[in-house]
Amino acid sequence: VIRHRDVRAAYFGVIDKFRLQVSEQSQRKALGKKEIIATLLPSAKEQQQQKEEEEKRIKEHLAESVFFEQTLCQPENRTASSGPSLLTVFLGIVCIAALMLPTLGDLESLVPLYLHLSVNQKLVAAYVLG
């Protein structure tokens, strides 16, 4: 177990290296070694606080800028995507319909024979759907 006892924000991102050596207890000769690289990262709570502080600084900086005031008045022309595309939905419906069609060899079916699909065709539809 390796513990970092002096955790400070100044040490975040600092890379440490640890070397592990394996040897028999009676001999001093090393059987193997490995270097392990470790980086101290902030906790999720500390990261959130840092992001909030950075966002505050950016907002304060932009509030002082004339550029921000000019762009604030202009409406945005971007449209936000609110879900899957129409092509994806259509492809999903086609695959579901293909899986619901009868398989070749099904004799007791009211569906015309040209709409019977092979097992391979159904596998492709299931793969695309998945």
**pLDDT of 41-72, one tens digit each?**
777 777 777 777 777 776 766 565 544 445 44
At residue 68, the pLDDT reads 44
Indicate whether 79 pLDDT > 70: no
Indicate whether 2 pLDDT > 90: no
Yes or no: say if 103 and 119 are a contact pair by the CB < 8 Å rule.
Answer: yes
**pLDDT of 80-127, one tens digit each?**
567 788 999 999 999 999 999 999 888 888 888 888 999 999 999 999
Sign (positive/negative) of CA torsion 104, 107, 109, 112? positive
